[in-house]
Amino acid sequence: MYLVVVAVVVGSVAVMYQVCERTSAGQAFRAIREDEVLAQTLGIDTTRYKLLAFALSSGFAGLAGGLYAYYVQLVSPVVASAATTSLVIGMVVFGGLGTLWGPVLGALLLYGLYEGLRFVGVVYNLVAVGFVIMVFVIFFPRGLAGLGRSA
């Protein structure tokens, strides 16, 4: 069963990568991200592409939630606490917005930090992770991926 889940996730990520990098939809996504008014002026149907982006990202969020619920064997509002949500957002910011591998690297490192500081207590753990996120937002707004680009 584990291999089936891995195959579904890898296939989904491959489809998303193809859509975002190799089709006109990916170019439209980047144009809308940079300047929506200019993209609309150039003839890009921004409403359609924003709806497509919403549908794709919602599908991935649903896939992730379904896989997590299957793994934990529990569906509860407690699972999506403010701490968990902020940790996920922090992973993306820490890794770098607008890149494919930045959030993956951010998730690995920030979750490693989160688990590594588990022994200091939940409150101090969250404070330390929050501090790291805050430092990256202030001093490295492009995240770890931005450090790699500027070097």
pTM greater than the 0.75 cutoff: no
Return the pLDDT at 148: 62
H-only helix segments in the chain? 2-22, 24-34, 36-41, 46-72, 82-95, 101-116, 122-139, 143-150
Residue-wise pLDDT tens for the chain (151 aa)?
A: 778 878 888 888 888 888 888 889 989 998 998 999 999 999 999 999 999 989 988 988 888 888 888 888 888 887 777 777 878 888 888 888 877 788 888 888 888 888 887 787 777 777 877 888 888 888 888 888 777 665 4
Torsion of Cα atoms, 118 then 124 then 126 then 127, to 10°: -150
